[in-house]
Each structure stands twice: as structure tokens, then as C-alpha cells.
Amino acid sequence: MDTSNPTNTPLYQIIPSDVCFSCDVCCRFLEVDSPLAPIFTEIETENAVAQGADPALFYPQVDAKSAQIQLKSYNDFYICPFFEPETSHCTIYPIRPLDCQLYPFAFMHSEDGSEVVLGVDNLCPFGEAHIETEAFQKHIRHVINYVESESVTAQIIANWSLIGDYQETVEIVHTLGQLTDATPTANS
């Protein structure tokens, strides 16, 4: 089953897996209702439920399509229910949502709410350390092309609650014009 986000330009990862497995940032959250908990598109939710995820874990969002996952308590913080803290693995990795596939990239509203922008979250230690390198700059262009591909942009437009609020930790690298024009502004 093809559970990926259909596009002519596959999304490549730049961060080596062993770096992520030894990092403790992703998939963990400080609050049970963290706005940063991953949001699944409608089809991503259907795919996860088809593979056994509890439908009650998915909170419907205002776009009436996407859903945010319900976090669960773990030690002094909260984790995604699909995260396995003992191994630092995602148990739905092949069908993890676009929101997770893109990280440390994130799309969000600009600070004044007038645009949809793409940025790199400085909370990711690899992203913060490498963003100025030639390889990372090349990767930024690849991610922009991916997000602006027709099929991915169409999915985001249909599931526009994926577009998060402005976060000051995210370094903006690009304005997403089509998404800006086709989705509600942050203030609407």
C-alpha cells in the first residue's frame, strides 16, 4: 500500500537516523495539549486507523479534515502514542504524517499572520548546527520543491489546520505563495 504523500518529487531526509535515535527532542512534548503535537491529514488518519490505531486518539481540527494526535503521559512529560521511548522509534514510521516527515522543517503563519511560510526549527540541534552549510541549503531547496509540488500543496490546502501558529524558534526560509493565497489567514 502506498501510504506516502503522492508527489513526483520524493522527500529525502538529510539528518542521519543515528543522529535522531540519540536525540531527545522529537516526539516528546512538555504539555498534554501541546499545539506542536503532530497533525494528521484525513488520509494519514485513515491509514493509521487502518493499521490499528485507535480512532479516539485523533482530535478533529477546524478544517473538518485533519486531526491532532492525543498525547500520553510518560515520566515528567508527554509523548506521541506512536513513539516507543525505549528504542526512540516511531511505530508507524512508514506512514508517519507529513508533519513528522518534514521536521525540522515546519510550515506556519508568519508573525503578522498574513503569509504561510516554511522554516527550520532551531530546536532541532542538527538543523541549528547545519543550516548554513551548502548541503543543508541544497536540502532547503529540495523541501521547498516538495512542499510546493502540486499534490502536496493540494493536501495542505485541503487540510489547512496543518498550518501552525507562528513559532519564534522556527527560522523562516521561504514564503509559500500558493498556500498563502488558498488558505485562511491566521486572523480569519
Q: Is 32 in the site for ligand SF4 (CB under 6 A)?
A: no
Residue span 58-87 as binding mask against ligand SF4, x where in contact by CB under 6 A, dash where not: ----------------------x-xx----
Q: Is 136 in the site for ligand SF4 (CB under 6 A)?
A: no
Residue span 104-133 as binding mask against ligand SF4, x where in contact by CB under 6 A, dash where not: x-------------------xxxx------
Q: Give just the sign of the alpha carbon dihedral 17, 19, 24, 28.
A: negative
| Shortest distance (Å) from residue 36 CB to ligand SF4 | 9
Q: Is 146 in the site for ligand SF4 (CB under 6 A)?
A: no
Q: Is 50 in the site for ligand SF4 (CB under 6 A)?
A: no
Among 43, 53, 67, 100, contact with ligand SF4 (rule: CB under 6 A): 100
Contact 159, 66 (CB under 8 A): yes
Q: Rounded to an integer, what distance in angstroms lies between the CA atom of residue 141 and that of residue 128? A: 17
Decide whether 8 or 17 has the Cβ nearer to ligand SF4.
17
Decide whether 82 or 107 has the Cβ nearer to ligand SF4.
82
C-alpha cell, 33: 495539549
Q: Is 186 in the site for ligand SF4 (CB under 6 A)?
A: no
Q: Rounded to an integer, what distance in angstroms lies between the CA atom of residue 144 and that of residue 119? A: 10
CB under 6 A: which stretch of 98-106, 132-140, 144-152, 172-180 binds ligand SF4?
98-106
Q: Rounded to an integer, what distance in angstroms lies between the CA atom of residue 179 and that of residue 170? A: 18
Pairing of strands 28-29, 58-60: unpaired
Helices (H), the chain: 17-21, 42-50, 98-102, 125-130, 134-147, 150-158, 177-182
Contact 41, 159 (CB under 8 A): yes
Q: Kindly list the residues in this chain that would bind ligand SF4 in the complex (CB under 6 A).
A: 15, 19-20, 23, 25-27, 38, 80, 82-83, 90, 92, 96, 100, 103-104, 124-127
